[in-house]
Amino acid sequence: MDTTSLLSFAIALLVVILLKTIAERLGSRLKNGPYPPGPKPIPIIGNILDLQIKEPGPEYAEWSKKYQSGICFATAFGNNILIVNTQADADELFEKRAKIYSDRPQIPMTNLIGYEGMVPLMSYGNYWRLCRRICQQHFNYESAKNYRPIIYEKVHNFLSALSESPDNFASHNKMLSVSFAVAIMYGYEVKSVDDPLIDAADRSIFLAGGLLTPDASIINLFPFLAHIPPWLSGPMTSRKIAAEAKGLMKYMQESMMNFAKASIKSGTADASLVTDFLEKQSISEARKGEEQAVQDVAFTTYSGATETTIAVIATFYYLMAKYPEVQSKAQTEIDQVIGSTRLPEFDDRSALPYLEAIYREVMRWSQSLPLGVPHALTEDDYYKGYFIPKGTTVIGNIWAMNHDEDIYPEPFAFKPERFFDESGKLNQNNRILSYGFGRRICVGKAVASSIVWLTMASTLACFNIGKAKDEFGNEIEPNGEYHTEGLVTHKVDYKCSILPRSQIYKDLLQAEKTARV
């Protein structure tokens, strides 16, 4: 079959599929009841034009106001999408009805990219449970304490680097995240952010992220196109991008695994998820079947931890430069509790309530994953009198929930004080929505919280963060813009001033650095 004939066949097949989908939708609606409110779909293409927006979080939040509903419904070429804009609805669907709202939508590009082993993207099933069990064993609250020595080391390295070259903040921030992730996963010591293995992993994540949204590739809209041979795919550059992403990921995984095996053989292995597994594997043959799951968990942790941590720390520094009064208040609290003879420790956390409020407010104010990771419905459901069909992609709009004026008055203001009650104590609102919902909540949240909190505490103890100045001594207002790369929203580069608070802290950092050598 030549290319022209194949294209004609594909178009004919597409028409049949679309007509069949329309008929099924009309029949389902008449039989089962109304769908939740939402923008009116266009025949065949549905709401694809409504979904192609630059800032979906705020736009979907506006849908709730327009249609007077916390849940809104849309379609795209026959695919059903439910937007959940309120915490109350998210709790009901993702938590109380977790049994049927814990699957993930099948994104056709996932397999082409080689990301079928990414735990957050996996379908709810036995292999996911195996990977989840490995995560829970290594990342639960108690196990997270085992990573504290590495967290101290990487955060203190970050502070030392900042004190020496504060203008290279972005590079130091990335080094903090990637060096921690590969250390706890593979026992690998990153010497530079230009490490070829890090470059390969980051390039793979960047390319893959750009292919995982519904409108990123025509293959995601029409899965049958994935079965067309690559040499016939013509202008579908997404196939070529997917192949590159897959190759880079495989190179990074295999190289890291070979490093871990070689370090064990030579007796130089540091404790990590992979090295610990490999050492136990040599004793128990039965554990060999878990090797792929361990590799998948390791790469998932790297990809999930690095990008989001980088985004959060960048936002924190921006906010401290923007709101000096908040910074000053936190430093006063740290000075009173810790003094200036040592750096903050995890045991100090409960004694620093204002700093805890800053952590909560930073995580509320800006989300690295504003729409989280989509869920999928495994059975037909009824909610608030509306029919939600099986297979619907369900999106928790974290941005909308974190900007709900009923819960967070003046939601666009940065106000750590909102997390205190009338008596001046931290309130009970300690939930970080960015970690997700229900059975698919981020299993590594205890580790993530630890490294972010210690970075915030140590930064405020050691540095004054302010607005940069131009050659004439005038303050430069830091850029407040954000941009999205793939699935993650990042702070646009900005300038700020990072200066040691005193010689005492410079000496502390130097002593820490000397002790690590």
Instruction: Enumerate the β-bridge partners of residue 496.
Output: 467
Closest alpha carbon to 139 in 355, 391, 447: 447
More confident: 370 or 237: 370
Give the Å distances, CA to CA, from 353 to 155, 184, 288, 319: 21, 29, 46, 18
Q: Give the C-alpha separation, 278 to 261, whole Å.
A: 7
Annotated binding site for heme: 442
Give the Å distances, CA to CA, from 47 to 50, 67, 70, 179, 299: 5, 15, 18, 42, 35
Give percent of the chain above pLDDT 90. 57
Element (H, E) at 393: strand 393-396
Instruction: Please compute the mean of the pLDDT values over residues 310-328 and round it to a whole number.
Output: 96
- Contact call for residues 374 and 90 (beta carbons, < 8 A): no
Q: How far is CA 267 from the centre of its chain?
A: 35
Give the Å distances, CA to CA, from 165 to 22, 179, 280, 368: 60, 18, 42, 26
242: pLDDT confidence band, cut at 50, 70 and 90? Answer: confident
280: pLDDT confidence band, cut at 50, 70 and 90? Answer: confident
Q: Give the C-alpha separation, 193 to 483, whole Å.
A: 21
pTM of the model as a whole:
0.89
Length of the chain: 517
Instruction: Please compute the mean of the pLDDT values over residues 333-338 and round it to a whole number.
Output: 96
Q: Give me the pLDDT at residue 6, please.
A: 46
Give percent of the chain above pLDDT 70. 87
Q: Give me the pLDDT at residue 1, please.
A: 46
Q: How far is CA 110 from the centre of its chain?
A: 17
Q: Give me the pLDDT at residue 511, please.
A: 78
Would you put residue 35 in left (φ > 0), alpha (ψ -120 to 50) or beta?
A: beta
Annotated binding site: 442
Instruction: Please compute the mean of the pLDDT values over residues 66-81 and round it to a whole number.
Output: 93
Q: Give me the pLDDT at residue 3, please.
A: 47
Domain membership of residue 60 as a residue range = 3-516
Per-residue pLDDT tens over the stretch 13-43 = 555 555 555 555 555 555 677 999 999 998 8
Closest alpha carbon to 331 in 319, 344, 318, 322: 344
The helix/strand/coil state of 276 is helix
Instruction: Enumerate the β-bridge partners of residue 483.
Output: 490
Indicate the number of domains in the chain: 1
pLDDT at 226 over 80: no
Q: Give the C-alpha separation, 492 to 396, whole Å.
A: 24
pLDDT at 250 over 50: yes
- Contact call for residues 333 and 170 (beta carbons, < 8 A): no
Per-residue pLDDT tens over the stretch 114-149 = 888 889 888 888 889 999 999 988 898 898 899 999
CATH number at residue 339: 1.10.630.10
72: number of Cβ within 10 Å? 25
Longest dimension (CA), the chain: 78
Q: Give me the pLDDT at residue 16, please.
A: 57
pLDDT at 419 over 70: yes
Helices (H), 33-94: 48-51, 56-67, 87-90
